């Protein structure tokens, strides 16, 4: 069965949405295989967001992601990578469909970075890489 690395980002934790996000993951039928709350340092975020280095939103993104605690979760379940991305909705919360986490709970806060509550791995390769970054040894 598949594994995905999910993050409740600092905006989600700050707004008290962690429980709602985890409840949606569990209600879908996925398992929470590992879970940790931490404020990520820059080195970890540089690894996690390596593919975005040099993009205009890269620095604001790292700043935002290190601004407070995140909840990192290893989610387990049949096709949970694609499944969680559907639960999350599209990147831009103003465009995300109602029923999705970002569509129901997100909006534009006028920030340089999209504060979109959650991250989910986008492929089995990214999931393996990201689980290694957030849960070394798992």
* Residue 106, CB-side half-sphere exposure with 13 Å CA sphere: 32
Radius of gyration of the chain (CA): 14
Which residue from 2, 44, 46, 57 is in contact with ligand ATP, where contact means CB under 6 A? Answer: 57
Q: Is 102 annotated as a binding residue?
A: yes
Extract the tokens encoding 80: 């949970």
- Check binding of 80 to ligand ATP (CB under 6 A): no
Catalytic-labelled residue, pool 3, 24, 48, 119:
119
Q: How far apart are CA 58 and CA 69, in angstroms?
A: 19
Closest approach, Cβ 54 to ligand ATP, in A, equals 13
119 is catalytic: yes
Angle at 106 between CA 100 and CA 111, to 5 degrees: 145
Binding to ligand ATP by residue 91, rule CB under 6 A? yes
Tally Cβ neighbours within 10 Å of residue 27. Answer: 9
| Ligand-binding site membership of 64 (annotated) | no
**122 is an interface residue for ligand ATP by CB under 6 A:** yes
- Cβ neighbours for 113, distance < 8 A, ≥ 6 positions apart: 57, 60, 61, 63, 64
Tokens 């920030």 belong to residue = 111
Q: Is 100 in the site for ligand ATP (CB under 6 A)?
A: no
Beta carbon nearer to ligand ATP, 110 or 137: 110
**Whose CB is nearest to ligand ATP?**
91
Query: Which residues of this protein are in contact with ligand ATP, per CB under 6 A?
Result: 57, 61, 85, 88, 91, 113-114, 116, 119, 122
Q: Which residues are known catalytic residues?
A: 119
Which residue positions form the known binding site for ATP? 9, 57, 85, 91, 102, 116
């Amino acid at each position: 069965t598949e594994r995905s690395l999910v993050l409740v980002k600092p905006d989600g934790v700050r707004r008290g949405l962690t429980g709602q996000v985890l409840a949606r993951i569990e209600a879908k039928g996925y398992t929470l295989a590992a879970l940790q709350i931490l404020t990520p340092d820059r080195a970890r975020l540089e690894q996690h967001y390596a593919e975005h280095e040099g993009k205009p939103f890269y620095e604001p993104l790292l700043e935002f992601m290190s601004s407070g605690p995140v909840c990192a979760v290893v989610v387990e379940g049949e096709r949970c990578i694609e499944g969680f991305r559907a639960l999350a909705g599209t990147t831009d919360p103003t465009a995300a469909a109602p029923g999705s986490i970002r569509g129901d709970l997100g909006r534009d806060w006028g920030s340089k970075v999209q504060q979109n509550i959650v991250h989910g791995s986008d492929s089995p390769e990214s999931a393996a890489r990201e689980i290694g970054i957030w849960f070394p040894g798992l």
